[in-house]
Chain A
Amino acid sequence: MEHEHHHHRPMPDRSTIQGWGADLDRANRPAVPMERMPQRLDVPEGELGQQPRDIEVFVSPERPGITPLFGTSAPPRGLSGLLRRIAYKGTENDIRHWLMLLLADRVDMVEGIGEDLARGKVPNVLAEMGIKAEWEHNKAGLVRKAAIGAAVAGVAWYLLKRRRSH
């Protein structure tokens, strides 16, 4: 029956395909089965030991406590840190936990500009966004974005001016 013939299209010539079938045998597939015991990695004996905690590290309420290891990049700060502190009171199962973290991220961005200015550095936002690459590889796109930006600014300026004159 035609419908039983699954592969309607002629098969490519396997001999021309680099490495075809080298791992056809499941024994050659290193992550099959997904859970494999005992593991094959040679793990040195001994206790893991607890990394000292010198900064504020948040812990998911879905855990019994801090993990032996953790990252120490960018500890919480300012208003964004306050929002994160509140967010981590909620479980991962609670959508509000994640939404509050996303809000904190946006606040953090504003605080980052404040941090730059406090250090006497005016962030070169256009350079950070890769305007040099945009100019080199997408001039038309850059001109279009600049034109749209100018048009929006022009309309806003006109509307404001009109409102003032009323």
Chain B
Amino acid sequence: MLAMNYRGPYRVRADYKPDPVIEHPGDAIIRVTRSCICGSDLHLYHGLVPDTRVGTTFGHEFIGIVEEVGSAVQKLKVGDHVLVPFNIFCGSCYFCDRELYGNCHNTNPEATAVGAIYGYSHTAGGYDGGQAEYVRVPMADIGPTVIPHDLHEDDAVLLTDALPTGYQAAEMGDIREGDTVVVFGAGPVGIFAAKSAWLMGAGRVIVVDHIEYRLEFVKRYAQCEVINFKEVDDMALHIKKMTDWLGADVCIDAVGCEAAGNAMQTLTGRYMMMQAGSATVLHWAINSVRKGGNVSIVGVYGPTFNAVPIGNALNKGLTLRMNQASVKRHLPRLIEHIQAGRINPREIITHRVPLEEVSDAYHIFSGKLDNCIKTILIPPGARH
């Protein structure tokens, strides 16, 4: 089959590799109809995630048609069109019992600090991802959700990660009516976090980035205020001035380890790898939120350590909440929101690229060229 093939930092290509097979009686094989490139795929693409092996296939946002099921699969049927949450989870371990599906204990032997994720290095379990024609989907009766007939395929693929992650970011911010919410990052997750903040009753939503076309988009799409941090001397001071000198009630990090905006963080975090990426947004979030406020983190960081002003978080009495999204628990409510017209996820899609052109697709997304916000890869058999 044709699949994305990682060759080293900044180098990927479409290549032929053997089709996946059933490896456990609970598995299914899915024929992919759409997959996305996620902002967090760029951390892999840039070589920042430990144990990212050459020859692996990325892709944790995909939908497709069930091609084959293992002997233990009871509910999922061949021919079902399913969306597959990015988490691989068993549904029955200590953590799944508590609905922490992003923290499953039974699917990733290589690390306890990370759940299992499709196509996200061996640190996340060593599974191949969905930027391919076919993909092995473990726990087929647990993870995949059959796509309702009235749900557009492009909305469905955004329900596998980007929308639930943005929504959970707002949820973890514990937003109360009238709160001022600052979202760092105007990528897909930040855009959806801003939308979700309104759903939860925010009084004011402010999105921070430095990419002008993305700020223009989010201002219109999420009806929010925007700040271009390149035009601001000091982020915390700027937010204080905007909020009667108190700070924001909630700050959301939707950027993670490749944040721009601070030369020292960029140098030590991204180029010298002396910390697990640049902690610029963590710094801004802790220093811009009000005393007693909430910082919610969904931006991805590496497993080593980061330089963050934890003393300020202590002295300000902050609540810091963070996690990989437990996608499955969000799906029923988010599907309702889409069906009710409260959110139109697919409007953020800017690029549709044949899987064969995956090298260019990654470069465009990584370089933020051609006003790219969200890229969908379409395998050869799924073009219609």
Q: Which residues of A are in contact with B by a Cβ distance under 8 Å?
A: 2-3, 5-9, 11-12, 16-24, 28-32, 34-41, 43-44, 46, 48-49, 51-52, 57-60, 62-63, 66-74, 76, 80, 84, 87-88, 92, 95, 98-99, 101-102, 104-106, 108-109, 111-113, 115-116, 123-125, 127-134, 136-138, 141
Contact = CB atoms under 8 A, between A and B. Distances in A.
A24 B13 contact: no
B268 interface: no
Contact of B330 (A30, A39, A101): A30
A113 B177 CA distance: 56
A73 B199 contact: no
B318 interface: no
Contact of B97 (A37, A76, A99, A106): A37
B204 A9 contact: yes
B265 to A, nearest CB: 19
Interface stretch (B28-36, B110-118, B227-235, B309-317): B110-118
Given A109-B7, A133-B360, A40 B329 contact: yes
Shortest Cβ-Cβ A-B pairs, 6 listed: A130-B363, A19-B342, A71-B126, A71-B127, A109-B8, A24-B201
Contacts of A72: 23, 126
Interface string B207-247: 00000000000000001000000000000000000111110
Given A6-B244, A67-B107, A101 B51 contact: yes
Contacts of A11: 178, 203-204
Given A5-B244, A59-B109, A98-B302, A71 B90 contact: no
B56 A74 contact: yes
30 contacts: A3-B244, A7-B243, A18-B341, A18-B342, A19-B199, A21-B199, A29-B171, A30-B171, A30-B333, A35-B98, A38-B97, A41-B96, A49-B72, A59-B110, A63-B109, A67-B107, A69-B138, A87-B51, A92-B111, A92-B113, A99-B304, A102-B47, A108-B8, A109-B54, A112-B7, A115-B54, A129-B359, A129-B363, A130-B367, A137-B367
Given A109-B7, A129-B11, A73 B126 contact: yes
Kindly name the residue among B54, B123, B171, B321 whose own CB sees the greatest number of chain A CB atoms within 10 A: B54
B122 interface: yes
Main secondary structure of the interface of B (DSSP, over half): loop
Interface residues on B, range: 35 or more
A73 B53 contact: yes
Interface of B: 7-13, 23-26, 47, 50-57, 72, 74-75, 88, 90-92, 96-100, 105-113, 116, 122-123, 125-128, 138-139, 141-142, 168, 171-172, 177-178, 180, 195-196, 198-201, 203-204, 223, 242-246, 273, 302-305, 321, 323, 325-326, 328-330, 332-334, 337, 340-343, 359-364, 367, 369-370
B290 to A, nearest CB: 9
Kindly name the residue among A38, A44, A113 whose own CB sees the greatest number of chain B CB atoms within 10 A: A44
Contacts of A136: 370
Given A48-B90, A131-B363, A133-B363, 16 more contacts: A6-B246, A21-B201, A22-B337, A29-B200, A30-B171, A39-B96, A40-B99, A41-B99, A63-B112, A70-B108, A73-B126, A84-B51, A98-B50, A128-B10, A133-B361, A137-B364
A16 B244 contact: no
A98 B304 contact: yes
A42 to B, nearest CB: 8
A58 B221 CA distance: 45
B133 to A, nearest CB: 15
A69 B26 CA distance: 10
B98 A48 contact: no
A62 to B, nearest CB: 5
Kindly name the residue among A62, A74, A102, A111 whose own CB sees the greatest number of chain B CB atoms within 10 A: A74
B125 A31 contact: no
B11 A74 contact: no
A101 B172 CA distance: 32
B300 to A, nearest CB: 15
Contacts of A12: 203-204, 223
A69 B90 contact: yes
A119 to B, nearest CB: 11
A20 B367 contact: no
A36 to B, nearest CB: 5
Contact of A70 (B47, B54, B107, B303): B107
Contacts of A124: 13
Given A69-B90, A125-B11, A138-B367, A41 B142 contact: yes
A92 to B, nearest CB: 5
Kindly name the residue among A17, A59, A115 whose own CB sees the greatest number of chain B CB atoms within 10 A: A17
